A and B are shown apart, each in its own frame.
Chain A
Amino acid sequence: MNMPATKMDIDTATPAGAAAPVVAMTPKRPPRSETYARMARETAVRVIPPLVVLALLMLVWELVCRRAGSTLPPPSKVFKDTHELIFDPFFDHGGIDKGLFWHLSASLQRVAFGYSLSAIAGIALGVLVGQSVWAMRGLDPLFQVLRTIPPLAWLPLSLAAFRDGQPSAIFVIFITSIWPIIINTAVGIRNIPQDYRNVAAVVQLNPLEFFAKIMIPAAAPYIFTGLRIGIGLSWLAIVAAEMLIGGVGIGFFIWDAWNSSHISEIILALFYVGIVGFVLDRLIAGLGKIVTRGTAQN
């Protein structure tokens, strides 16, 4: 705007000295088969050791529990007792007599609902506490006390408030997973370098743009740490909560199996709970990796 005349010159001028010879470096692609072989090797290195350990553990378990009078079933018996459940997870005989798929999906739905709520509220509160000194002074002590309350201690209170199992379970998940999300988000916001704030000030971003373009990306690694801890806690809380509220869900499935002395079913359910928890954790970690690419290393 200052000097249109000079600008015209620049537009047409090409920096002659600038064009340093560019050395083309396209590495030759190794043959496909070699790539696959390498991938297979890498996978094997990662997969074989845990499989070996697992096999050894099963063997020990089998040997220990095989004796007559053992209180817990050995793996072979677990498989024999539960193969119907394993191979047909989709049956539905009405009531709570359903396949494991339905139990897990009911639990996952509750988690999805409660966790989404806590992610939204947690990030919002975390931003508030991280950005405003007064909000931090007012809220932080409260959070520090509330976060130590065990998930199940909230259940009677929420049952009293909602008078129904479903919303109570969702509330328990919400209240369990929100604390790490709030606290980590707040730390992330507080740690945004002054440099980034200066850049935003010079460019004159408005508060909304600052939130979307600077705050959230800069705090993303911290936020995802909180989200990852949160999803783990939600999954812990749902199994416990469902044991008490009943209905369809993996938690109550375990409780029901205990009441009918189907120990093998308990073991199978625990296996599934572990796998699902692991997958949830990986899911959030993977999402975090995609979202925070570039941000983490600077």
Chain B
Amino acid sequence: MTAYLKLDHIDKTFTRGNATTEVLKEINLTIEKGEYVSIIGHSGCGKSTLLNIIAGLTRATTGGVLLENREVNSPGPDRAVVFQNHSLLPWLTVYENVKLGVDKVFAKTKTRAERDAWVMHNLNLVQMAHAKDKRPSEISGGMKQRVGIARALAMEPKVLLLDEPFGALDALTRAHLQDSVMALHQKLGNTILMITHDVDEAVLLSDRIVMMTNGPSARIGEVLDVPLARPRNRLELATNAAYLKCRQRVLEFLYERHRFVEAA
């Protein structure tokens, strides 16, 4: 298997005045096509910074991101992001929010009618076609996040970046949406990189879990393969030995070896 997305010796330091903080140190990671990888770590360990670097929204201090062996250092639709707080534009309808990206990405390759069909197709994928003319303020948090996912999917990204996509949702909505993302991954075979701080979520969804040490100078502490067959069912997994073992490993890493030190 060849590396599809490669993080090559990424360091990130923030400088404020003459104080410099090293946030990320020596991040090396290769992700294969079609893989679902989660990055987990305590808050403040720089996992969102890492996602922003991959998305091109922040520049790495040294090192770089290679996508299909090409360096990427500016944002683009090939690495579409689903933001934690959905970030839908409130003055556009659900349809228009998805269309914004579609019009840009497929300006030359699709006709107007095809683009319209493509928007509706993606809204159908996340089961939001019924609300296409609603504005974000008129739909629930879970629905907003579905539209956010549709917007990202509609750009046909090479890598889909999820920045704590379920963080702001209640437990039931979260479970429902996790199942939806799993089904989409199964159906479309996207390469997905997800930031999370939820152990169950990471084990349930991922093929591999990247565990990060605490910052400053956060590193990749351990990478865990999740040897669970797909499709996965959360109810069956609850008693699955492999699932429980993976869960145990991540918990141990987070709560014993790299316990979160509360900043004063």
Contact = CB atoms under 8 A, between A and B. Distances in A.
A295 B156 contact: no
Contacts of B130: 22
A201 B89 contact: no
A267 to B, nearest CB: 45
A196 B89 contact: yes
B89 A198 contact: no
Given A3-B188, A202-B81, A11 B121 contact: yes
10 contacts: A196-B87, A198-B83, A202-B57, A202-B79, A202-B81, A202-B101, A203-B105, A203-B155, A205-B104, A214-B89
Interface in B43-94: 55-57, 74-77, 79-81, 83, 85, 87, 89-92
Nearest to A193: B87
Interface in A139-162: none
Contact of A6 (B57, B121, B158, B187): B187
B interface: dominant SS: loop
Contacts of B135: 294
Cβ-closest 10 pairs across A and B: A195-B87, A201-B75, A18-B127, A217-B91, A298-B90, A295-B91, A294-B135, A203-B101, A294-B91, A202-B75
B215 interface: no
Interface string A204-239: 110001000110011010000000000000000000
A42 interface: no
B120 to A, nearest CB: 11
Given A6-B188, A195-B83, A195-B85, A204 B75 contact: yes
**Number of contact residues on B: which range applies?**
35 or more
Contact of A202 (B55, B91, B127, B189): B55
Contacts of B100: 199, 203, 213
B136 interface: yes
A84 to B, nearest CB: 50
Interface string B174-208: 00000000000001110000000000000000000
A259 interface: no
Contacts of B211: none
A203 B188 contact: no
A2 interface: yes
A295 B90 contact: yes
Interface string A262-298: 0000000000000000000000000000001111011
Contacts of A193: 87
A10 B121 contact: yes
A204 to B, nearest CB: 6
A204 B77 contact: yes
A201 B101 CA distance: 11
A9 interface: yes
B240 interface: no
Interface string A81-113: 000000000000000000000000000000000
